[in-house]
């Protein structure tokens, strides 16, 4: 997220001011602080929720030692100055116990985003989130792209970017490597694209 921000760009507010704003926002409004800008994250539609549950089931069946937490706030970007609300965060069981709203990413194995049908999806889910998650050294970023009918696995974070990415069309078998070690049979995703 910070890797593509001009050095002269000034944030709209401090992280502390953002967190106060987010605490006071109505429950129906989900805010993020990405590249120094406040953004409103769209509410998920039914197909988005079904994809989340499908992925949760896959993770629980293959890795019962892990938990996929939906809508989890993370400290992202360089120096943890960003605040992203991931559609899913895969962590070892019990590792979020006692953690605050915006969790550190040291125990996060994978961040997940499922695209929404809004004008900011390309910038947010395909550019800014991968950079922010890579800068926070999250080992795997999984993007389920409903616009492109594809699943992309980003790995090998280094210098604020993922050095490897593999994209497969819905219907393909997708291997998510260590430390996640899950295989996704993605044929079911075709049902949730419209």
* pLDDT tens track for 87-107: 999 999 999 998 888 889 999
Position 127 confidence tier, pLDDT thresholds 50, 70, 90: confident
Between 36 and 2, residue with greater pLDDT:
36
Structure-token match 């499922």, residue found: 114
Residues 6+ apart with CB under 8 A from 20: none
Cα–Cα distance for residue pair 72/56, rounded to 1 Å: 14
pTM: predicted TM-score of the whole model, two decimal places = 0.86
> What pLDDT does 194 receive?
66
> What pLDDT does 22 receive?
86
> What pLDDT does 3 receive?
44
Between 81 and 80, residue with greater pLDDT:
81
Position 122 confidence tier, pLDDT thresholds 50, 70, 90: low
What domains appear along the chain, each with residue ranges and CATH number?
15-192 (3.90.1570.10)
* Cβ atoms of residues 31 and 38 within 8 Å: yes
The set of long-range contacts for 161-164, using a CB threshold of 8 Å and a minimum separation of 24, is 161/3, 161/130, 161/131, 161/134, 162/130, 162/133, 162/134
* pLDDT tens track for 138-167: 999 999 999 899 999 999 999 999 999 999
Across the chain, mean pLDDT equals 88
């Amino acid at each position: 997220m910070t890797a593509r921000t001009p050095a002269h760009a000034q944030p709209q507010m401090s992280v502390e001011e953002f967190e106060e704003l987010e605490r006071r926002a109505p429950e129906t409004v989900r805010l993020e602080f990405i590249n120094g800008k406040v953004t409103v994250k769209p509410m998920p539609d039914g197909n988005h929720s079904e994809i989340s549950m499908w992925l949760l089931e896959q993770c629980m069946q293959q890795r019962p030692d892990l938990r996929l937490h939906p809508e989890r706030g993370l400290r992202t970007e360089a120096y943890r100055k960003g605040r992203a609300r991931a559609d899913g965060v895969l962590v070892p069981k019990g590792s979020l116990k006692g953690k605050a709203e915006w969790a550190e990413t040291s125990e996060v194995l994978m961040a997940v985003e499922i695209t929404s049908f809004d004008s900011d999806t390309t910038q947010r889910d395909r550019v800014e989130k991968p950079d922010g998650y890579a800068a926070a050294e999250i080992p795997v970023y999984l993007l389920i792209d409903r616009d492109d009918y594809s699943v992309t696995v980003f790995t090998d974070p280094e210098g604020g970017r993922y050095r490897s990415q593999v994209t497969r069309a819905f219907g393909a078998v997708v291997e998510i490597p260590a430390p996640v070690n899950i295989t996704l049979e993605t044929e079911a995703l075709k049902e949730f694209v419209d």
